[in-house]
Structure formats: structure tokens, C-alpha cells
């Protein structure tokens, strides 16, 4: 029996108990009820209608689809489904568990604010360039909606001004400069504002002799800004060259899922120590693009963190739980120490 089917069965029992429903929630949504939709009593549109009617009266588990949809919309916000095992995680406790699946330990996506809260000591976060927003430099208009409208929509949806948060904080008492990309904002795409904010952070870290962390989560360069987005790769790389080669300072990129495109091809792979999260999807071009371009099949798992680690693409795979302590130890090994040592 498949694990996701078992999870859905367990969830239904728990759901009925919590909500005290008199009827079963057998169709809590397509993600939980895929196997039950194959019941011939439900899907037989051309056959005997009385057979379906008998099934409904004899089996109280089968319910009207309209009611199922109501239940789905009413309660699905309470749960988060794992991308890996399809298990359900109660959202109330999901954040406290660092967005790790309770069933299989899979690392699900995190918002930039949650990552900052996870990595930076409480009360020490000082954001930079929060008021910097994208305009529409090439007046890009697609068939769907204008670029400026999309930016406004994502700003309302996420509460962020752009796809990266930058700032200064303390990590176990050590002053650090940190940039955290947010995949929820236009897929973490790198436009002119993202590039400018990261570059300014690197320049500040260079001037103040601070260790640098960039948490990568991006689909690559933002197509709505054309070559202006592509030039951010060179701009950030140039700032990193001064930071690393001239000032001999310490930079750690953290590759989370997904890290692709121009981010992988630039600052994502320029770290002194490169860290990846378990199960992270890391690539330059996606599997479908490669297969269509080269007319060759890309092996499954060849763009996963574990496979790339075996090929020597980065240095460490670190789960979220010990990540902060690992970073603290790395910084101290590179002569960055807490401000207040006991």
C-alpha cells in the first residue's frame, strides 16, 4: 500500500475526530482522495443510475461533490502537504518544526522571514534597503498582465517589497551580513533591485569586515527586465571578487530548493564554503529544457543535492536543525568571534 494513501486514511480519521463531523470527509481534496476516485460506483456516468443511488444510500462515506468542495475549502488551510511523501502536516506546528515534514523529514520551502528568524539571534536583525522597489525599466507587457501590476500583486501577497531581504544581525553573537531570497516572490527571480540590494550588502560587509551569508532560492534572472537582470550576475560577482580576493573575507552561500539559472551561474557557486540543504533542487537549466534542447533524457535525481555533492559541486549538506551552530563554528574557525564571550 502506498504511503500517501495510508497518510490520507489516517488524516481522515483524525480530521473527523477534531472537527466532530457526523459524515466522513472522504474527499478532502484531490491530493488526499486520488485512489477513491476510481470507484466505479462514483465514476460510472454511462451506466446504471440506480446502482449509484443504492451505493450512496448504503455507504454513508460517499457524499455529494458540492459538500466535499465546501469541506475542502473550509479546512485545507489547516494542513500542509509534503511534496515528497504526500503526508499531511498540521500548520499550527509546522513553523516550529522548521518546515520539516513530520512523516519523512523532507525539507519544505521556507519564507525569507522564517529563515531570518531561524538564523539570526532575536532582537539583532537590522534590515537594509527595505524601500527599494522595482519599476518597469523596459516597459514589459505580457498577454496576462503588466509587469508593474505583477510586482504590486506579489507585494500584497507576501508583504515584501522584493524577492530578497538583506540586513545585518548576530548569529550566536557574531555580527554577520545576510541576504535571504524568497521563492514566494515571483519565484525568487533576480531583477535589478535584487542585484542592487545584494551588491550593497556585499559592499557594506567589505567595509565593515563582516562574514557574509546569502541564502539562495531562485528560478534565475527575471525575464521581465531583460539584459538588466542578466547584468546583476556580473555586478554581484564583481563585488564578491573584491570581498573575497582583495579583502580576504569569508562568504558562505546556502543553496536551498530550488536554486537555478543565473543564481547558480554566479554568486550561488562562488562561496568559500558552499552549503546545500538536503533534497535541494540545484541546477542551471531545468530537466525539461535540457531534454528539449539536447534531445537526451536527464536521469532522475541528477539535479538533487545528494548527487551533486558526490560529484564535488559543493562542500556540505546540512539539515536545518544544526545549520546555525555549523555556521557559527565555521565563522569562529575563520577568526570571526562573538562580541560578548563568556
Distance of alpha carbon 194 from alpha carbon 229, whole angstroms: 9
pLDDT digits (tens, 9 = 90+) for 105-155: 889 999 999 999 999 999 999 999 999 998 888 888 776 788 988 999 999
Q: 196, 143 in Cβ contact below 8 A?
A: no
31 pLDDT above the threshold of 80? no
The better pLDDT of the pair 75, 273 is held by: 273
59 pLDDT above the threshold of 50? no
19 among annotated binding-site residues: no
101 among annotated binding-site residues: yes
pLDDT at 342: 52
The better pLDDT of the pair 84, 208 is held by: 208
Q: Specify the pairing of strand 212-218 against strand 251-259.
A: parallel
Asked if residue 233 is part of any domain, the answer here is: yes
pLDDT at 68: 54
- Residues 62 and 202 grouped into a single domain: no
% pLDDT > 90, the chain: 59
> Taking Cα atoms as reference points, which of 198, 192, 193 lies closest to residue 180?
198
Distance of alpha carbon 118 from alpha carbon 60, whole angstroms: 46
Asked if residue 339 is part of any domain, the answer here is: no
Asked if residue 107 is part of any domain, the answer here is: no
- Residues 65 and 180 grouped into a single domain: no
Average pLDDT over residues 275-294: 93
pLDDT digits (tens, 9 = 90+) for 223-280: 999 999 999 999 999 999 999 999 999 999 999 999 999 999 999 999 999 999 999 9
* Per-residue confidence band for 327, with pLDDT thresholds at 50, 70 and 90: very high
- Residues 181 and 307 grouped into a single domain: yes
pLDDT digits (tens, 9 = 90+) for 61-74: 334 444 555 555 66
> Taking Cα atoms as reference points, which of 318, 317, 286, 322 lies closest to residue 303?
286
- Residues 297 and 270 grouped into a single domain: yes
85 among annotated binding-site residues: yes
pLDDT at 27: 37
104 among annotated binding-site residues: yes
CATH number at residue 268: 3.90.226.10
Q: 189, 218 in Cβ contact below 8 A?
A: yes
* Residue that is written with C-alpha cell 556540505 in the block: 316
The better pLDDT of the pair 138, 49 is held by: 138
Amino acid at each position: 500500500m502506498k504511503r500517501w494513501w495510508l497518510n490520507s486514511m489516517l488524516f481522515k480519521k483524525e480530521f473527523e475526530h477534531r472537527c466532530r463531523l457526523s459524515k466522513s470527509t472522504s474527499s478532502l481534496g484531490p491530493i488526499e482522495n486520488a485512489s477513491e476516485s476510481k470507484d466505479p460506483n462514483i465514476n460510472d456516468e454511462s451506466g446504471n443510475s440506480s446502482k449509484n443511488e443504492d451505493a450512496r444510500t448504503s455507504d454513508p462515506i460517499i457524499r455529494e461533490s458540492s459538500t466535499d468542495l465546501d469541506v475542502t475549502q473550509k479546512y485545507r488551510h489547516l494542513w500542509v502537504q509534503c511534496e515528497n511523501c504526500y503526508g499531511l502536516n498540521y500548520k499550527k506546528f509546522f513553523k516550529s518544526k522548521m518546515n520539516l515534514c513530520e512523516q519523512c523529514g523532507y525539507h519544505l520551502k521556507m519564507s525569507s522571514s522564517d529563515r531570518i528568524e531561524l538564523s539570526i539571534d532575536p532582537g539583532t536583525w537590522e534590515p537594509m534597503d527595505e524601500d527599494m522597489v522595482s519599476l518597469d525599466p523596459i516597459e514589459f507587457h505580457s498577454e496576462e498582465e503588466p509587469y508593474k501590476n505583477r510586482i504590486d500583486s506579489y507585494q500584497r501577497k507576501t508583504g515584501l517589497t522584493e524577492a530578497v531581504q538583506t540586513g545585518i544581525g548576530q548569529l550566536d553573537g557574531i555580527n554577520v551580513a545576510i541576504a535571504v531570497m524568497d521563492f514566494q516572490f515571483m519565484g525568487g527571480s533576480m531583477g535589478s533591485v535584487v542585484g542592487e540590494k545584494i551588491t550593497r550588502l556585499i559592499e557594506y560587509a567589505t567595509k565593515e569586515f563582516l562574514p557574509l551569508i546569502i541564502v539562495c532560492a531562485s528560478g534565475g534572472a527575471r525575464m521581465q527586465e531583460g539584459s538588466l537582470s542578466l547584468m546583476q550576475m556580473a555586478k554581484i560577482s564583481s563585488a564578491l571578487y573584491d570581498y573575497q580576493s582583495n579583502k580576504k573575507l569569508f562568504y558562505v552561500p546556502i543553496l536551498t530548493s530550488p536554486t537555478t539559472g543565473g543564481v547558480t551561474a554566479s554568486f550561488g557557486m562562488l562561496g568559500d564554503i558552499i552549503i546545500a540543504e538536503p533534497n535541494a533542487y540545484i541546477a542551471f537549466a531545468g530537466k525539461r529544457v535540457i531534454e528539449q534542447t539536447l534531445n537526451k533524457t536527464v536521469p532522475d535525481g541528477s539535479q538533487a543535492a545528494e548527487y551533486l555533492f558526490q560529484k564535488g559541486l559543493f562542500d556540505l549538506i546540512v539539515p536545518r536543525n544544526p545549520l546555525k551552530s555549523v555556521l557559527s563554528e565555521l565563522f569562529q574557525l575563520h577568526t570571526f568571534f562573538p562580541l560578548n564571550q563568556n
